[in-house]
Structure 1
């Protein structure tokens, strides 16, 4: 991809030298690219005056066939997609198989609504419900509307929405991208993504990061760009520049070459310039993801999200099923460290077999470890399965609990871990109260792992899916860095490790700050490791501590980052 980016910088458009007309938004990642704008075609809409079905049975059959066809298409795309994209597509395909949604469409047709209009109205009704729930469920609205657009196209007998064939380095521009759109990107030609909607934790952003594509979301005015426009996209700055001059093209080329060099710049354990070891670990969800990550140059797993085994199940996985899954992960990594998080469900990740009461604010309700008070057997079975898998594979996994707020919760969880014969137990620091009382909680457990995504949303009182509040969701916020510092100091005082497994860990500059705050391991998507390893190798611990102090002294996220950019090795800044 980086070679394609470099080619784009050199071969696209002309050196106009004209004044730049800029758009801005929220950048995802640090990459940059130059390419020609290719806009996603708008979806087909139902006819404004669509007539009622002449033959209800035939219309119902057509709609059912359309639902089934879209579900099949999504499953086929999932089968050939990257694991991260595949998981999203599989979940999206389930929407096209929702019997409740189809029943609502059928009810509307019986009342005299045309089939395409009935699909549109039924989906919008479901979207309203999801948006009212907030969080993860609200994020699925884009996916559900994409399913609607594809079904409507089938019903009307017209092509489904999508991107045209590309022949040159291209920047995809859209109101938003659904997983099915992202899964079919032509990676030989797509060099960047720009969307008017979305947020830093939307599916578009997550998949773009996984594919290492520069991406800028929430770009007001993105749709004013026209097919054929030449633009420079800078994810680090969150900017889009029309008609970039030669100087900017050359800068993009240099950055692309520097980023490409990261893959061969170093290998092995993470270390600062003066030799301080910082473990570089992988975040994984599905067992298959873990097995792929085990082949990468990582020191182990810093976050194994076990809820992936549970979320799409109608019944709780048995102890035997869990043993089999955990054993595959432990075996794949052998003697390397594996940190496994117990079930983090509830709120925005509901379980069919462990329903929660309706909550006014699910993000502040029964989720994570709090679920165990209502369904204690879930945790008991999971710890039993982890212990048995560890015994069968001869490994020593680290086990941690999500959403811990008090000393009592930490102490209770640790007791259950040790009762199963598991030697290392820890907790997530995601709640500000836990960070503030870190010196007390660390006495009860063996390690901390900081989930920066949740810690940021709780510290800043901002829904992590609220794209319009992205500035507040930035982990560079000095208040968030203060909380991380409290946890780091607690670990240092007790001589116990403190890791970070949130998305903040994959930002090379922020990784340096985290090390300066006392963090001993960084866990991220495997493709983020080379850049972080590179930055660490060119920065000593004292410099990391100076960067951390400068960031904490800043008044906001932007000035915190700027303060660190002023201190970092220029070679690091260019490469990342």
Structure 2
């Protein structure tokens, strides 16, 4: 993390990792402090324990149901994040740990606190994607305790005026319900470029900076200027200068809002600009933007938080909603990306020392072959029903043999087969993988995590998981070159595609499509329309010659503006 700096005029500038571009200037608000609750030292009598256990079970179920209701009202990434968190609220591991303590005589509040601490320690030790769930689990524990003692749920206050929300970290239930007209920017001390906070900020379309050193010392009410492009939070800036920067950013946003597609550089080089979605509602919302199709349909929502596997017909109905929303347009469906932080109740996940490097993504199919077969049957049925045959890709492919096996299954259903490049091994062997599939899609979130050996939620390592890391971009360029050599499309569907400047660099590598959150589509398309293909290529070459993410950004700006 970078150290704070002071300008020549004595103004404090805090630096973090930029994740959503844009500029906002407003007073700081913070989440309400959690009440200090006496956990007590008394033990329950044996006759009191069954009722206390029932009280705990009811409180946890209430919290999970509230989260599911919010997921139902939300769309896109917010809905997915909330549904995943609701599943964690009903996870048998930590619930069982709390129930065991109650059975031994601990009051429910103390049992919840101890069980949460136990699993926070375990998740932190495991690292990887499990470490990302620490904030989520603590938030769930706080909500269950509040329910047990009759207090309101903790969370973010609703501001009366447009404000900047600053926090150590933000739980999904806090970020998913934000009103972007009142919370105009986010800044956190912890988190990384692919944290839940960052993902939802992109969907809301508000500036966001994470891993900001010194942010905890900024008081509520202080005015700050958040620059989500440079990754800075300026404390109490000159008012006129701050307002001028916001005005300039608004002019750029107005230009972006006027972009209506299709995706192309200023000299006419076509690059499809697509949307990431996870259900029919999100696809219909994306259809209201200039997005030319769907570059990533996350199908996990069909599977999470259900005790039994949805039938082929149930899956077909869900998939058909997205295909019908973009009738006649490109839709890329990712098969089930579960495991690690997204376990399926019916898939029999093994206990693993490091789930992020374990049985997740396509690897689940090895132990559950029928799961993939039935999903492909559902996709094929949806294609027939909608008249819009999708492209189908597998997550977490690491070898050419895995790609070959997956492609055979997909083609047996009459569909086009591709794979995601998220594992460095797949990028290094992209040419051999392309012998078996029709297209590649690069997931920069996991590619950055695995390339840099850095937890995505570690504030200390947030600069490593920045998609601008030259090592990550070198692997992206390698995969794109492999596709160009055989005339097969290579897209990017990770969060890197939502950064307009980086989208231009990716275009310079030769990427054929860019898929981002719906809120980012116009910004990406507008920026592409302002630069030539040669500028993009020059920026790409300059970036590959750098040695740090900061230098890579600076090199791209020097070429692209």
Task: Confirm or deny a common fold (TM above 0.5).
Answer: yes
Secondary structure in structure 2 of the residue aligned to 1:395: coil
How far the C-alpha of 1:60 sits from its partner, in A, is 4.9
Q: Cα deviation per residue 1:322-351 (whole Å; 9 max; x = unaligned)?
A: 222222221221110111122223344332
How far the C-alpha of 1:531 sits from its partner, in A, is 1.0
Residues 1:330 and 1:196: Cα distance change in structure 2 (over 3 Å):
same
Superposition RMSD on alpha carbons, in Å?
2.6
Within the candidate set 154, 161, 176, 2:154 is matched to 161
Q: Which shows bigger deviation, 497-506 or 235-244?
A: 235-244
Within the candidate set 124, 130, 134, 2:123 is matched to 130
Q: 1:31 maps to what in 2?
A: 22
Q: 2:311 maps to what in 1?
A: 318
Secondary structure in structure 2 of the residue aligned to 1:33: strand
Does 1:381 pair with 2:370?
no
Q: 1:221 maps to what in 2?
A: 214
- The two structures have a TM-score, normalised by structure 1, of 0.89
Provide the C-alpha distance between the structure 2 equivalents of 1:532 and 1:431, rounded to a whole number of angstroms.
25
Secondary structure in structure 1 of the residue aligned to 2:448: helix
How far the C-alpha of 1:101 sits from its partner, in A, is 4.5
Q: 1:529 maps to what in 2?
A: 521
Residues 1:321 and 1:163: Cα distance change in structure 2 (over 3 Å):
closer
Contact 1:476 1:560 in 2 (8 A): yes
How far the C-alpha of 1:270 sits from its partner, in A, is 0.3
How far the C-alpha of 1:301 sits from its partner, in A, is 0.8
Provide the C-alpha distance between the structure 1 equivalents of 2:93 and 2:332, rounded to a whole number of angstroms.
38
Q: Cα deviation per residue 1:46-67 (whole Å; 9 max; x = unaligned)?
A: 2165544588366556545543
Contact 1:404 1:430 in 2 (8 A): yes
Provide the C-alpha distance between the structure 1 equivalents of 2:68 and 2:319, rounded to a whole number of angstroms.
25
How far the C-alpha of 1:244 sits from its partner, in A, is 0.4
Q: How does 1:157-196 map to 2 (within 5 A)?
A: 157-196=150-189
Provide the C-alpha distance between the structure 1 equivalents of 2:177 and 2:405, rounded to a whole number of angstroms.
47
Provide the C-alpha distance between the structure 1 equivalents of 2:506 and 2:405, rounded to a whole number of angstroms.
29
Provide the C-alpha distance between the structure 1 equivalents of 2:558 and 2:141, rounded to a whole number of angstroms.
48
Contact 1:369 1:402 in 2 (8 A): yes
How far the C-alpha of 1:280 sits from its partner, in A, is 0.6
Does 1:513 pair with 2:505?
yes
Secondary structure in structure 2 of the residue aligned to 1:47: coil
Within the candidate set 444, 455, 458, 2:447 is matched to 455
Q: How does 1:72-83 map to 2 (within 5 A)?
A: 72-83=65-76
Within the candidate set 30, 33, 39, 1:42 is matched to 33
Q: Which shows bigger deviation, 533-542 or 68-77?
A: 68-77
Q: How does 1:74-113 map to 2 (within 5 A)?
A: 74-98=67-91, 101-102=94-95, 104-113=97-106
How far the C-alpha of 1:184 sits from its partner, in A, is 4.3
Q: Cα deviation per residue 1:461-520 (whole Å; 9 max; x = unaligned)?
A: 223333321111122122222212222222222122111111111111111111111111
Does 1:485 pair with 2:467?
no
Provide the C-alpha distance between the structure 2 equivalents of 1:567 and 1:104, rounded to a whole number of angstroms.
56
- Unpaired runs of 5+ residues, structure 2, are 1-6
Q: How does 1:107-122 map to 2 (within 5 A)?
A: 107-122=100-115
Q: Cα deviation per residue 1:99-123 (whole Å; 9 max; x = unaligned)?
A: 6645544543454434422221122
Does 1:553 pair with 2:545?
yes
Q: 2:389 maps to what in 1?
A: 396
Q: 1:201 maps to what in 2?
A: 194
Secondary structure in structure 1 of the residue aligned to 2:560: coil
Within the candidate set 136, 140, 159, 2:133 is matched to 140
How far the C-alpha of 1:222 sits from its partner, in A, is 1.8
Residues 1:104 and 1:317: Cα distance change in structure 2 (over 3 Å):
same
Contact 1:345 1:351 in 2 (8 A): yes
Residues 1:495 and 1:241: Cα distance change in structure 2 (over 3 Å):
same
Secondary structure in structure 2 of the residue aligned to 1:567: helix
Does 1:20 pair with 2:11?
yes
Q: Cα deviation per residue 1:278-297 (whole Å; 9 max; x = unaligned)?
A: 00111112233223323332
How far the C-alpha of 1:205 sits from its partner, in A, is 1.7
Q: 1:269 maps to what in 2?
A: 262
How far the C-alpha of 1:190 sits from its partner, in A, is 1.8
Q: Cα deviation per residue 1:348-405 (whole Å; 9 max; x = unaligned)?
A: 4332222243333333333323333332222222222222222222222112222223
Q: 1:442 maps to what in 2?
A: 434
Secondary structure in structure 1 of the residue aligned to 2:441: strand
Contact 1:410 1:445 in 2 (8 A): yes
